[in-house]
Chain A
Amino acid sequence: MPGTQPADIDQLRQRISRLEGERRVAGVLPFGLNLIDSRLPGGGLALGALHEIAGSGKGAVDGAAAGLFAAGIAARSDGLVMWCARPGDLFAPGLAQGGLPPGRVIHVEADDDKGVLAACEEALRHGGLGAVVGEVARLSMIASRRLQLAAEGARTLGLMVRRWDTEKAAVQFGLPTAAMTRWRVTSIPSAPLPVPGIGRARWRLELLRCKGGQTAEFDVEACDGQGHLAVSAPLVHRPVAAADERHRAAS
């Protein structure tokens, strides 16, 4: 277009990015692992945003790995954590071993998904918490957008742990939501020990969706007592340059 100033183009770009829901950056919460952080825009999980986590297979029903992954993230956030769920099977000593001591968690019991979502929205809008974890089965586009909007403007992390009544219902995880990232956590066998026993738990983390980033997959060792993940031994020894090469070729 003749006569168009670069400033106008910039303005237009800004308007478009506003329309697309590009948010003011409230900062990120890095995982502390270059492997994961390098794949996330800004170098970590966006604060003041909504993130979805689910398990796979039986994990989609029991929500154990997804729950502990969320607990580990929440543990590294700054402040109190509100955990909204239907009354059920969350076991606080287990959370404490994932880095969330009982003094930091406020539990909220709701009757149904709707109650959980309403409580989460209220807590996210409040803005004074470090993280808000909600356990729901259904998360519609409208509900997730409400949560995302409530989370914006503060530094509270919104973590939605999706768990369903049956493994089949987990196909809902393919439906779009307004969440910034979407993760699937699968338990994989731990590294064999030289003695009888179980080693540190390992997860396959799949980053299924990431606004402004690409999907990725990581094999990591599960949360330690402070909520930190670790890189599995075989990956540490993998030649870094080769991985980067492949990444560039694919993009």
Chain B
Amino acid sequence: MSGTAPPPDVPLILKGSDGRRRVVLAADRAAEAGGIRVGMPVAKAQVLVSHLVIHDADLDADAADLETLARWALRTYSPLVAADPPDGVVMEISGAAHLHGGEAALLEGLVQALADKGFEARAAIAGTWGAAHALARFIPKPVFILPKDTGGRALPSLPIGALRLSFGMAESLHVLGFETVGDLLAQPRAPLVHRFGPLLGRRLDQMFGHLDEPIDPVDLPDVIEVRRRFAEPIGAPETIARYTGKLTQQLCDALEDKGWGVRQADLLFTRTDNRIEAIRVGLAQPMRDVKRLTRLLCDKIETVDPGFGIEHMRLIATAAEPLPHRQVSATDDPAPGLATLLDTLSNRMGAERIYRLAPVESDVPERSMRKMSALGEASESAWPSHWPRPVRLLSKPERIATLAQLPDYPPKAFTWRGVRHLVIAADGPERIFGEWWRRDAEMLAVRDYFRVELTTGERLWIYRSGDGEDDKTGSREWFLHGVFA
């Protein structure tokens, strides 16, 4: 981090002390290739690899950096994030995955974003902290999502080390012949507890969700936050909604004092059992409109499980931007802004499902557009209109059975989905060449598109793969690709 790190091909370890021994706390890939493992005495490591670069581990700085990373994740991904020392960050994503296009998209985006920052990261999603912790570290994939229904199956095959036990305890279990989590599960619990203490059983229960493990989330510095503590725990949705409204009012007042508008708001509920439930809403533009914000938050209240009651509510503006005061006149009848609607829909359905399309310069029909933000500046460009385009395009072209004169005659009749259709008129061919700069397979590929009209009046878009003369350009098979109106 400090810029003094040696290049990646130099074996490097960080040393620390374990009691009176000096041990390896971390090793880079070059050092691991030389046989160095974490936990090994430094003297042994020096014997294994010559020219080993050794630095003192700075645990405090590591913890501080991890905290910084957790705050970044809090701002970007989820309302509940905690540092998971020494080498991880844990997030509760159940209230926030929808804003990032679902779990898989969130996870991939996260790993990619960390890679851009220069961190090599592995990430996993599971039903419990314990399981996610283990899977992120012991499944050799950068991203892994534990399926909800078959979740139990992947976990027992994980090694003992996945259980977050102390180094000594894992070693002793190893000596006793336990290799995997499944081995431990198969044993009666009482003798294990007698020998190793309660931690072992607790870790097992936490991994499988029999025991709750609340996340103690990090806080962002310098954010606008309002909170309310309840003498009697509350639980009814109407009550929660009422207090949400009150908190929103306070938050918007505080924002107004500062001249800011909120871009992202988190509402955290601390339950009587110390679990924290969270709602996150994102906004397309900064705003401090009490009614709108309340409505967006209240839309989500049904996702909150109040358990035995909520003791404490906090509303935090995790992202805010300056929003200058604006003079409005009482006689104005402002047109309802589109942002209101888009915020409501994107918080409910996911922001990536609301979009505009912009033309892309590509002759291949399925590549001729890209998605862009619905609020963004609409592009003025349009598709070239000298060839007609169907209003429906099949996501996958469907084979049709036909015979046609080569090279450039349309078919007189064809069979599609088992029904024979007669063609009375046709336009074409429109030749579309493959884009060789995208894929090698398209180097020579050609499609000849025809618009055909059937006796019933339907107009379809069909194409022949290849130019009809050279077999290298395509298989000469016919496909249906779209339907005209």
A107 adjacent to chain B (CB < 8 Å): yes
Q: With A68-B485, A93-B383, A110-B353 known to touch, is A98 a contact of B336 (CB < 8 Å)? A: no
B457–A188 CB distance below 8 A = yes
Q: Find residues 120-149 in chain B having any chain A CB closer than 8 Å to their own CB.
A: none
Would A201 and B341 count as touching, CB distance under 8 A?
no
Contact of B395 among A89, A92, A98 (CB under 8 A): A89
Shortest B337–chain A CB gap in Å is: 7
Task: Give the residue name and chain of the B residue nearest to A199 (CB).
Answer: B425
B374 within 8 A of A: yes
B18: CB under 8 A from chain A?
A: no
Find A98's partner among B353, B379, B391, B393 (CB 8 Å cutoff).
B391
Taken together as a complex, chains A and B put the C-alpha atoms of A196 and B355 apart, in Å, by 40
Cross-chain contact of B388 among A97, A106, A110 (Cβ < 8 A): A97
Within 8 A of A (CB), among B446-485: 451-453, 455-459, 482-485
Q: A90: CB under 8 A from chain B?
A: yes
Residues of B within 8 A of A107 (CB): 354-357
Q: B residues 363-391 with Cβ under 8 Å of A?
A: 365, 368-369, 374, 378-380, 382-383, 385, 388-391
Binds B, one of A36-44, A123-131, A232-240: A123-131
Contact of A102 among B344, B356, B365, B390 (CB under 8 A): B356
Q: Which of A96, A109, A187, A192 touches B353 (beta carbons < 8 Å)?
A: A109
Tell which of A62, A94, A108 touches B389, judged by Cβ atoms closer than 8 Å. Answer: A94
Chain A interface size band reads 35 or more
Of A102, A119, A186, A197, most buried by chain B (CB within 10 Å of CB) is A102
**Which residues of A22-52 are within 8 A (CB) of B?**
none
Tell yes or no: A198 within 8 A of B by CB: yes
- Asked whether A196 lies within 8 Å of B426 as measured between CB atoms, the reply is yes
* Interface of chain A residues 172 through 212 with chain B (CB within 8 A): 185-190, 192-193, 196-199, 201-203
Chain A's closest residue to B341 (CB) is: A126
Mask of B388-402 contacts with A, CB within 8 angstroms, 1/0: 111111110000000
The 8 Å CB contact of B482, one of A71, A94, A110, is A94
Partner of A110, one of B342, B349, B394, B395: B349
Q: Which of B336, B389, B485 has the most CB of A within 10 A?
A: B485
CB pair A102–B453 under 8 Å, yes or no, is no
The answer, yes or no, to whether A151 is at the interface (CB within 8 Å) is no
Compute how far the CA of A187 lies from the CA of B451 in the bound complex, rounded to whole angstroms.
15
A108 to B352, CA, bound (A): 9
Q: Is A65 an interface residue (CB 8 A)?
A: yes
Q: A62–B483 Cα gap in the complex (Å)?
A: 8
Pick the residue among B340, B457, B459 that contacts A126 (CB under 8 A): B340
B483 in contact with A64 (CB, 8 Å): yes
Asked whether any CB of chain A lies closer than 8 Å to the CB of B30, the reply is no
Chain A residues with CB under 8 A of B354? 106-109
Chain A nearest CB from B435 CB (Å) reads: 17
Q: Tell me if A223 is interfacial: C-beta within 8 Å of chain B.
A: yes
Query: By the criterion CB–CB under 8 Å, are A102 and B369 in contact?
Result: yes
| A153 CB to nearest B CB, Å | 12
Asked if residues A189 and B453 are in contact (CB atoms below 8 Å), the reply is yes
Chain B interface residue count: which class?
Answer: 35 or more
Q: Are A90 and B391 in contact (CB under 8 A)?
A: yes
Known contacts being A64-B392, A93-B368, is A59 close to B482, with CB within 8 Å? no
Check B337 against A97 for contact (C-beta < 8 Å): no
Interface residues of A in 67-124 (CB under 8 A from B): 67-69, 71, 80, 88-98, 101-110, 115, 118-119, 122-123
Interface centre among A68, A93, A102 (most CB of B within 10 A): A93
Residues of A within 8 A of B356 (CB): 102-103, 105-107
For B211, what are the chain A residues with a Cβ–Cβ distance below 8 Å?
none
A119 to B280, CA, bound (A): 20
Q: Are A98 and B485 in contact (CB under 8 A)?
A: yes
- A63 proximity list for chain B (CB < 8 A): 392
Q: Which residues of B contact A202 (CB under 8 A)?
A: 457
Contact of B392 among A62, A109, A188 (CB under 8 A): A62
Does B231 touch A at the CB level, under 8 Å? Answer: no
When the two chains form their complex, are residues B341 and A128 in contact, meaning their CB atoms are under 8 A apart? yes
Alpha-carbon separation in the docked complex, A115 to B345 (Å): 10
Against A, the Cβ 8 Å flags (1 = close, 0 = not) of B303-344 are 000000000000000000000000000000001111011101
In the complex the two chains form, is A198's CB within 8 Å of B426's CB? Answer: yes
Would you give the 0/1 interface string for B100-117, flagging 1 where the beta carbon is closer than 8 Å to chain A?
A: 000000000000000000
CB distance from A125 to the nearest CB of B (A): 9
A119 and B335 form a contact (CB under 8 A):
no
The answer to whether B485 and A201 have CB atoms under 8 Å apart is yes
Query: CB within 8 A of A57: which of B337, B348, B456?
Result: B456
Which A residues lie within 8 Å of B353 (CB)?
108-110
Closest Cβ–Cβ distance, residue B281 to chain A (whole Å): 15
Partner of A91, one of B391, B452, B453, B457: B391
- In the complex the two chains form, is B379's CB within 8 Å of A102's CB? yes
Question: Does A187 lie within 8 Å of B426, measured CB to CB?
Answer: no
B235 at the interface (CB under 8 A from A): no
User: A222 at the A/B interface (Cβ < 8 Å)?
Assistant: yes
Closest to B374 in A: A106
In Å, the complex CA distance between A185 and B348 comes to: 33
B337 to A128, Cβ gap below 8 A? Answer: yes
Does residue B290 face the partner (Cβ distance < 8 Å to A)? no
| Interchain nearest-CB distance for B82 vs A (Å) | 32
* Interchain CB contact (< 8 A) of A201 among B342, B369, B484: B484
**Docked pose: A59 CA to B451 CA in angstroms:** 17
Which chain B residues border A138 with CB–CB below 8 Å? Answer: none
Q: Report whether B341 and A222 are in contact in the complex, using a CB–CB cutoff of 8 Å.
A: no
- Report 15 cross-chain contacts, Cβ distance below 8 Å, ordered by A residue: A67-B485, A68-B391, A89-B393, A90-B391, A91-B365, A93-B389, A94-B393, A102-B382, A105-B356, A109-B353, A122-B344, A128-B337, A186-B457, A198-B426, A201-B485
Given pairs A93-B369, A93-B389, A190-B457, 4 additional interface contacts (CB within 8 A): A102-B358, A109-B349, A122-B341, A198-B453
What are the 10 closest A-B residue pairs judged by CB atoms, nearest first?
A: A103-B378, A68-B485, A94-B391, A91-B393, A64-B483, A93-B389, A187-B457, A188-B457, A65-B485, A109-B353
Interface residues of B (CB under 8 A from A): 335-338, 340-342, 344-345, 348-349, 353-359, 365, 368-369, 374, 378-380, 382-383, 385, 388-395, 424-427, 451-453, 455-459, 482-485
